[in-house]
Amino acid sequence: MRRSIAFTATLLVLAGSAWPAETEIDSDFMQAVEDVNNSLSSDIAERNAKAIVAEAKDLLSRFEQIQLYYEHKGEADDAVKLSRKSRDLAAEIVTLVSAKDFDTAAQKATDLSRACKTCHNFYKKS
């Protein structure tokens, strides 16, 4: 994504040789999000609580990084909101699964996948 490369380059210039604190949101990063999200869906279907909790926590921290990235980038209010919403959904999945409420957790996972698509409609170029 050209804009994010330019953004990182600017940061590197501003920060001298220091590497920017936030992760770059590129296709490798997103591919990892996709893989974890797919595992999450199948583990919810199989009611594998231990795996679900680990995956939802993993997604939570990834969305934290996405949120940071867009906060620093600026002029991306929708992306910041969607990252925050995704974090909240991942956190709810952890709570629900810990209480063995797999059905509601499955609904939240559907909402989460919807948030992915909404952000892609706004911000994904291809």
Is 1 a binder of ligand HEC (CB under 6 A)?
yes
Considering only the C-alpha atoms of the chain, give the largest distance between any 2 of them, rounded to a whole number of Å. Answer: 50
Site string for ligand HEC, 19-58 (x = CB under 6 A): ------xxx--xx-xx--x---------------------
- Region at 47 (left for phi over 0; alpha for psi -120 to 50; beta for the rest): left
Chain-centroid distance of CA 84 in Å reads: 9
Q: Least Å distance between CB 102 and ligand HEC? A: 19
Is 105 a binder of ligand HEC (CB under 6 A)?
no
Residue 48 CB contacts under 8 Å (≥ 6 apart), including other chains: none
Q: Least Å distance between CB 16 and ligand HEC? A: 25
C-alpha pair distances (Å), 103 with each of 38, 51, 86: 17, 16, 18
Nearer residue to ligand HEC within complex by CB, 17 or 28? 28
C-alpha pair distances (Å), 10 with each of 15, 16, 29: 9, 10, 20
Nearer residue to ligand HEC within complex by CB, 36 or 49? 36
In the complex, which residues of this chain contact ligand HEC (CB under 6 A)? 1, 4, 25-27, 30-31, 33-34, 37, 66, 79, 82-83, 86, 112, 115-116, 119-120, 123-124
